[in-house]
Structure 1
Amino acid sequence: MNLGNVIKSIRKQKGQTQTEFATLCGITQTYLSQIESNSKDPNLSTLKTISNNLGTPLPILFFLSLTQEDIDPRKREAFEIISPSVKSLVNEFFAV
């Protein structure tokens, strides 16, 4: 799961700096940086705040952050087939 990179990508698409977004979320820029680099796992409350401020539902953030390793090996082929289309659709729907 690559949640930090997804958060960072969406934040940047919205044109917000780490400092601006961290302030909006009520966390420090350092903590946001650690979340975005996947070195810290935020609690659910913080994730909900981040999700709300990104304008992207939390389940969508989780889906976008899935990697092949997160998927049952028996289902990876199907994931590889549908993932690009679903991610593209989700990105269009929640685009800035």
Structure 2
Amino acid sequence: MDIGTKIRTLRKSMDMSVRQLSEVTDCTPSFISQIERNLANPSINTLKKIATTLDVPLIYFFEESIEETPEEEYIVRREKRKKLNSPGEKAEVFLLTPSHNIKNIEMHMIVIEPGGKSDRLYVNNAEEVGYILQGTLVLFLGDEEFEVNQGDSIYFPGNIPHGWENRTDKEVVTIWAATPPILKV
């Protein structure tokens, strides 16, 4: 099932009109209709708003309906990681926890290209911990700016506006844990 069909199915199951969904997500009804018919692709931020409104985790839209094995309940193999592209931010987000089994914590890896930058400062209700596996990253926390390097770890409450930027000419790789999960906000 494709993203547009999943959105339309969920919206209708909640007895919500296209107009109601558009008002809550700050999109036009025409754009929501185009998304549902797979004529337009929403940004990750728009998809997050839709997921929150429809009360599903963001990753729901990227999952395929498959029979899972007992192993898949607990282990995410490298080749089966869920991946979210964020072209505007020049980053790829890989979910490291089984997406169907997210309860109280999630882990994800972000690979940031040179010049990559979060498209805004994020705010959520989670506690976040990060670790820099490779490279140097500039972290924005409120009005502060910190340079964090390979081997450094980070902790902050998600209610502090936060973002990041790769000001180097090398790829940056980070690992993050968040509780409660943030990909469904």
Once residues 31 and 53 of structure 2 are traced to their aligned partners in structure 1, the CA distance between those partners, rounded to angstroms, is 16
Structure 1 residue 9 and structure 2 residue 36: aligned? no
Once residues 44 and 61 of structure 1 are traced to their aligned partners in structure 2, the CA distance between those partners, rounded to angstroms, is 11
Structure 1 residue 46 and structure 2 residue 61: aligned? no
Once residues 38 and 54 of structure 1 are traced to their aligned partners in structure 2, the CA distance between those partners, rounded to angstroms, is 18
Higher relative contact order (CA 8 A, sep 6+): 1
Once residues 13 and 38 of structure 2 are traced to their aligned partners in structure 1, the CA distance between those partners, rounded to angstroms, is 19
- SS of aligned partner of 2:11: helix
User: In angstroms, what is the RMSD of aligned CA positions?
Assistant: 1.8
Deviations 1:31-76 (A, max 9, x none): 000000001001111001100110000112221xx37xxxxxxxxx
Unaligned 5+ runs, structure 2 = 69-99, 101-185
- SS of aligned partner of 1:34: helix
Find the structure with the greater CA-based Rg. Answer: 2
Structure 1 counterpart of 2:29, which letter? Answer: Q
Identity %, equivalent residues: 29
Structure 2 counterpart of 1:32, which letter? Answer: I
The 5-angstrom pairing of residues 38-77 of structure 1 reads: 38-63=38-63, 66=64
Tell me the residue number matched to 1:21.
Answer: 21
Structure whose residues are more often helix by fraction: 1
- SS of aligned partner of 1:11: helix
Alpha-carbon distance, 1:24 to partner: 1.0
Once residues 4 and 19 of structure 2 are traced to their aligned partners in structure 1, the CA distance between those partners, rounded to angstroms, is 16
Alpha-carbon distance, 1:29 to partner: 0.2
Tell me the residue number matched to 2:32.
Answer: 32
Unaligned 5+ runs, structure 1 = 68-78, 84-89, 91-96
Once residues 44 and 53 of structure 1 are traced to their aligned partners in structure 2, the CA distance between those partners, rounded to angstroms, is 14
TM-score where L is the length of structure 2: 0.35
Structure whose residues are more often strand by fraction: 2
